[in-house]
Structure 1
């Protein structure tokens, strides 16, 4: 039980603390501790002054001592938690994030302060993000990709997968890596994961044609023929002359149960097809082609028009021989 005199000294210390007169505050806190060395509050108050003076190492040591004093004298668990949280805050100021989180977690094990819960979660996320960023290394990712490719060529797909996994951790924004891993999953007959990697690849690079071709291949294997057709059509919208995409498109159409009318109906719902058909210039070209089949060759010489004509042909909107 703190003596009245010790409490008075602590109160004087608090008054000085509020005025930011920390040297005077320390004199009173030290006197309070001398009069009653068993009271945890005197130590935590002095630690608060040390914290405000940016004397973080001293603050931490005093907080740890306060915890020991509190344990020995069966102090209220909230007071012990307070000392631990203050140590965590001092570590945070020193940018020792893992130590700060450790002391916040210790504090929360004594008393679940909701504000500290939020602070600890934010800090935990910050640490994970920092570790993730520290791990990024595009050069090492390329090395791992090359190793993966070597094992892939040998047919050792599980080992190739390990290297592709590591490459992605090192460079998670590289679309090619997801495409390579998708090929690996496909060989291992894990089509759902392969498809997920194709989507990840496409999200990162919407112009990377291999992502759409591999997506089409996965969907064919999963007997999702209509979706496979869409994937190959997207690939051909990037490169209308891509042989692999053309072959995949033919395969998906030949396996599809959809009637030509159903294919045409679905195509007419395609925003890209709708945009082409709304274009007055394209409507004139299509009308000219219907009246003069020989005009097709002339229009195909223009890459932009050729791309639109091919899109309509693939969609079943027009017929070309």
Structure 2
């Protein structure tokens, strides 16, 4: 495999920085970020101007949740290769998860200045706009992303979530339907479509379509318990129990999703106080890059205005 090849390259030339950087990328691909960082460290010791090693190490730090080191490495990568659009986009993603949405937008702007075709920068900037509550600009960026990738189900769903957050439930229905046409097995699209239809006073249609869509979803995997909740086959306690995990990162992410969709479920019930409590929990727990974070904020603002 690739790692064995890089081991041999390093054996033949222990000072070959690129071989360490390449092996680091291979470890990265396997999810072994500690070994990846060790190899990137060695690559940088051998060649302090190897910009890609800084960029890749920054991405590994990001995946380990060390945002400050991630930003430091991406910043050094940009010093060495100042026009690199992907490095700007990667650093912007870290700013988003740190909660600095203004800097995120600035870095995405730079990424698009250097590469106007970088879809990741449009979708990333859309999330940053959403987190600032500017869903009009978010939708505009998703439009640009879809112009370049019209068959991307995730972008259709993301734009649908932005419409939902705006209170434009009709457009949310259109986008979730498009996402499901492209990927009928997307459990999240099934859930969002149910809520978009329900909020458009189409509860019977939402229930009927949910039953048909649920048949295509793997019931043993998250977030299937949320679909069971919407179908009347589970309660809130079961959803929360299913979200729990021994892995702290997984527990936080699934807990965030559970809290958000429980909040939306309570909105439909309606139980405003329980909805508010669950949505506030989502705001606390959700990574800032999750669509549920900005949507929880939007829903809480709607509840406050009632």
Higher relative contact order (CA 8 A, sep 6+): 2
Q: Which has the larger radius of gyration?
A: 1
Category of TM-score, reference length = shorter chain: 0.3 to 0.5
Q: TM-score, normalised by structure 1?
A: 0.37
